[in-house]
Amino acid sequence: MITTAFIVEYNPFHNGHKLHLEKSKQITNATHCIGIMSGNFIQRGGPALFDKWHRAALAVKNGVDLVIELPVLFASQSSEIFAKGSISILNQLNMVDNLVFGSESNDVESLLMASELLANESELLSNSIKENLKLGIPYPKARENALKAISKVDLSTTSNDILGLEYTKQLILQKSSITPHTIKRTGSTYNSLDLVGQICSATAIREQLKTTLDINLQNFVPLPTYAMLEELVKLDKIIHDESFFEFIRYNIICNLDRLSDIFDVNEGLHNKIYKAALTSSTLDELASSIKSKRFTYTRIKRILFNILLEITKSDMNIIINTTSPAPYVRVLAFNQKGTELLNLMKKTSSIPIINKVSAFTPETELQRISFNYDTKATRIYNLINRTSKKAFDLGSNLDQDYYKSPVFIK
């Protein structure tokens, strides 16, 4: 068995993901593949278009053998924390051979070289990053400048290279035996809104879905994805960031005295957030009025959803200060090959495997913290996502983590 893993969001699964999956299997000679996927809230700061079970099922229908969930404390944070949690879980499975990710540079050797420098951060590199930050330069660009000045390693600050750098850094820090590979990203850039060619960004698809399910989307997503999107649009069950605006604003207004306890709310930002919440009429307006050179729009979006989920500094510090913070493995969807992976995983995994949430009892502080946030995130997501339509029935109970079983795809 040769097992290849991917760290994904599939929001939604599109032609670029399909191409990445097929190429990854080819270059690693994979017999089995695992996707570790964000749940109902994602890394850019916001909710997923539709729930984690349906996204996981789509991934399996399109060729992934097993989909496991990346806990929300990792999935909804910066690239560094996102990567730390993902690599930690994959590493603790003790059966993953390869990790394949897309990148703009397609240069895994440069990524590894830069990762070595960051993992063993010298005082010279650290001081150079700090000097860049003092100029108001966002951290990814400050780090890029420092690396280029000190080591001549030239990395773009495009999104996939940033994530790739974090993945390879965590592989080094966690002394992982997983081999990293990269595939050059093709088609539109990560944040492009253009629907051109056959491969466009997930961002462009999400923007299109804010208005209508245009027939042209059939050109950009596999048939199973299109069929599900078509049904979700009919049910009016596509979830967008703005759906949670009033919940976020309510939390801000009612909890001014506790805003400074929320993770990443620093440098007096709580007062600025509060004042902006009093006058903003949309989530985009709120985030735009708070952002600055130091706090980018995306970072502010993550902070606002930290407020929604009430993710605290004290809980995140436990995650950040643990070298390998994998709490457990949560199974979302699988096929027959996925069953083979799960059977092996039961023998090799260093952390608990959760098939049935109601049967799981957290045994460590790390598990308790992560489990509480994961189940809370599902409840909050389902405040918007509930429907009485049978095709996507979530019932009246918000605690779907306790009632929804992993999806088996024949």
Q: Is residue 167 part of a domain?
A: yes
Q: Is residue 152 part of a domain?
A: no
What CATH number does the domain containing 372 carry?
3.40.50.620
Joined tokens for residue 67: 């989909």
End-of-domain residue from the set 256, 280, 307: 307
Residues 172, 48 share a domain: yes
Q: Is residue 69 part of a domain?
A: yes
Residues 29, 162 share a domain: yes
Name the amino acid, one letter, at 349: S
* Domain count for the chain: 2
Q: Is residue 139 part of a domain?
A: no
How far is Cα 279 from Cα 303, in angstroms, rounded to an integer? 18
Closest CA to 108 of 156, 168, 64: 168
Residues 164, 81 share a domain: yes
Q: What pLDDT, on a 0 to 100 scale, did the predictor assign at position 390?
A: 41
The two counts, helices (H) then strands (E), for the chain are 17, 10
How far is Cα 211 from Cα 385, in angstroms, rounded to an integer? 18
Closest CA to 30 of 316, 368, 340, 357: 340
Q: What pLDDT, on a 0 to 100 scale, did the predictor assign at position 189?
A: 53
Residues 166, 76 share a domain: yes
Residues 300, 173 share a domain: no
Residues 267, 374 share a domain: no
Q: Where are the beta strands (DSSP E) in 29-178?
A: 32-38, 41-42, 46-47, 66-70, 98-103
How far is Cα 307 from Cα 255, in angstroms, rounded to an integer? 9
Q: Is residue 119 part of a domain?
A: no
Per-residue pLDDT of the chain (410 residues; tens, 9 = 90+): 999 999 999 999 999 999 999 999 999 999 999 999 999 999 999 999 999 999 999 999 999 999 999 999 999 999 999 999 999 999 999 999 999 999 877 888 888 888 888 888 778 888 999 999 988 888 878 888 888 887 766 666 567 888 898 999 999 999 999 999 999 876 555 555 566 556 777 888 888 777 665 556 788 889 999 898 888 888 878 899 999 999 999 999 999 999 999 999 997 899 999 999 999 999 999 999 999 988 999 999 999 999 999 999 999 999 999 988 999 999 999 999 999 999 999 999 999 999 999 999 999 999 999 999 999 999 999 998 864 344 445 455 688 898 889 999 98
* 107 alpha carbon, distance to own chain's centre: 22
Residues 77, 25 share a domain: yes
Name the amino acid, one letter, at 409: I
How far is Cα 249 from Cα 33, in angstroms, rounded to an integer? 41
- Domain carrying residue 303: 242-307
| Annotated binding-site ranges for ATP | 7-20, 102, 160, 185
Q: What is the DSSP letter of 391?
A: G
Residues 354, 249 share a domain: no
- pTM, to two decimals: 0.90
Residues 302, 408 share a domain: no
End-of-domain residue from the set 262, 279, 307: 307
| Annotated binding-site ranges | 7-20, 102, 160, 185
Residues 265, 181 share a domain: no
End-of-domain residue from the set 307, 336, 353: 307
Q: What is the DSSP letter of 137?
A: -
Residues 97, 36 share a domain: yes
Q: Is residue 56 part of a domain?
A: yes
Q: Is residue 217 part of a domain?
A: no
Q: Is residue 135 part of a domain?
A: no
Residues 378, 291 share a domain: no
